[in-house]
Amino acid sequence: MSIPSEPDHDRYEPGPGAVVGERSRLVNITYRLLGSRAEAEDAVQEAYARWYAMPRRRQEAIASPGAWLTTVATRVCLDLLGSARVRRERYVGAWIPEPLPDRTEWTGGPAGDGGDPADRVTLDESVSMAFLVVLESMTPAERVAFVLHDVFRYPFAEIGGIVGRTPAACRQLASSARRRMRAARAPEGPVAGQAGVVRRFREAWEAGDIEALVGLLDPDATMTADGGGLAGAALRPVEGGGRIAAYLIHIAGRAPGLTLLERTVNGRPGLVARQAGVTVTVAAFGVDGGRVTRIWAVRNPEKLRLWNGRSRPAAQDPAAGPGTREG
């Protein structure tokens, strides 16, 4: 992204805490709003681009650079969310949010050095795959009001200024979003219990034990895969524990040398499938009552960059101002 350059003497630098220090919070907000780390980075970069494109006198007139950056980044997200439904109608197969590894396995930074901590998303309940999938069912305005208020504790008066609605309207949007969340989101057990179920699931899959898999799957379980037309994946959800088990055994038989690893996926126990040292699938699980109720399997390689040590072009360092790229 190119940013118009201006003379250095016309630049206002309010200090690291005011501008540069906002990046981590902005990435966390935009990822939850968009479900895509790549798009989240773009939204944050666009906000910084607009900041640095302003002359010094306009920067000095802004009382809170952090609030200004949040407003701009959120409005960029609103624009993206408004067009996302159209884009996803053309998407090949199901669209699943981009899965995130635990920070100890964050390998998408320059030269595989673990990346800038400011670009990492804090893994908590609000980025579990189950949570993000329900967010996808909300309108853009509901999603913004809910995420900013319920997750990041922004007051409705401030949210109203960001989205151009009254505080009362934002309150109603967040309330509607909460109802959607309660209605659509299945209960989940504690993480420790989920880890045990996922471990037994991996062992049964590796052993080709279809009866054990069926026993670990809820009879009404659903598996959704996302290949994006770039990797083989079921185009429609596979429904029913027996069908899912048979499908998984079939897939394993067609992929010799597949290695299954237990990993944290969006803060919850999950599985990573690797072939020839390359991550080809990242699976997130919904678990309730000791059984798997949902499986979200991401196979689109564009969404697996962090898992394979591949990064996008280095983002501009906000502290550097326009025209400078990190090496």
- Residue with structure tokens 């009404």? 220
Strands of the 259-265 sheet, one edge to the other: 238-239, 217-226, 291-298, 278-288, 268-275, 259-265
> Across 99-113, 136-150, 245-259, which has the greatest mean pLDDT?
136-150
d(CA 281, CA 299): 5
pLDDT of residue 89: 76
Spatial CA neighbour of 106 closest among 305, 285, 258, 299: 305
d(CA 32, CA 141): 13
pLDDT of residue 150: 96
pLDDT digits (tens, 9 = 90+) for 178-200: 999 998 877 777 777 899 999 99
Whether the per-residue pLDDT at 158 is higher than 60: the answer is: yes
- Residue with structure tokens 């499938």? 273
Residue 54 CB contacts under 8 Å (≥ 6 apart), including other chains:
none
What value does the mean pLDDT take over residues 29-49? 95
Query: Counting every residue, how long is the chain?
Result: 327
pTM, whole model, 2 decimals? 0.85
pLDDT digits (tens, 9 = 90+) for 267-319: 999 999 999 999 999 999 999 999 999 999 999 999 999 999 865 544 444 54
Report residue 2's pLDDT band, with 50, 70 and 90 as the boundaries: very low
Whether the per-residue pLDDT at 209 is higher than 80: the answer is: yes
Whether the per-residue pLDDT at 266 is higher than 70: the answer is: yes
pLDDT of residue 87: 77
pLDDT of residue 74: 97
Spatial CA neighbour of 186 closest among 130, 124, 265, 239: 130
pLDDT of residue 53: 94
If one compares 311 and 327, the residue with the highest pLDDT of the two is 311
Residue 3: φ, ψ to 5°: -125, 130
Residue 61: φ, ψ to 5°: -80, -10
Residues 226, 233 contacting (CB under 8 angstroms)? yes
pLDDT digits (tens, 9 = 90+) for 101-137: 987 765 544 334 445 666 778 888 899 999 999 999 9
Burial class (CB in 10 A: 0-12, 13-18, 19+), 102: middle
pLDDT digits (tens, 9 = 90+) for 168-180: 999 999 999 999 9
Give me the amino acid identity at 34.
L
pLDDT of residue 32: 96
**Chain-centroid distance, C-alpha 273:** 19
- Three-point CA angle 296, 302, 305, nearest 5°: 90
- Residue with structure tokens 């919904």? 286
Listed in order, strand segments (DSSP E) in the chain are: 217-226, 238-239, 259-265, 268-275, 278-288, 291-298
| Strand-strand pairing, 259-265 and 238-239 | unpaired
Classify 224 as helix, strand or coil.
strand
pLDDT of residue 7: 37
pLDDT of residue 3: 31
CATH number corresponding to 191-306: 3.10.450.50
**Chain-centroid distance, C-alpha 4:** 30
Domain ranges of the chain: 8-185, 191-306
What value does the mean pLDDT take over residues 163-169? 95
| Strand-strand pairing, 217-226 and 291-298 | parallel
Spatial CA neighbour of 198 closest among 276, 274, 259, 286: 286
Whether the per-residue pLDDT at 94 is higher than 70: the answer is: yes
Residues 279, 107 contacting (CB under 8 angstroms)? no
What value does the mean pLDDT take over residues 211-229? 96
Q: Which of 13-22, 70-79, 232-241 has the least mean pLDDT? A: 13-22
Classify 117 as helix, strand or coil.
helix
pLDDT of residue 17: 52
DSSP letter assigned to residue 314: P
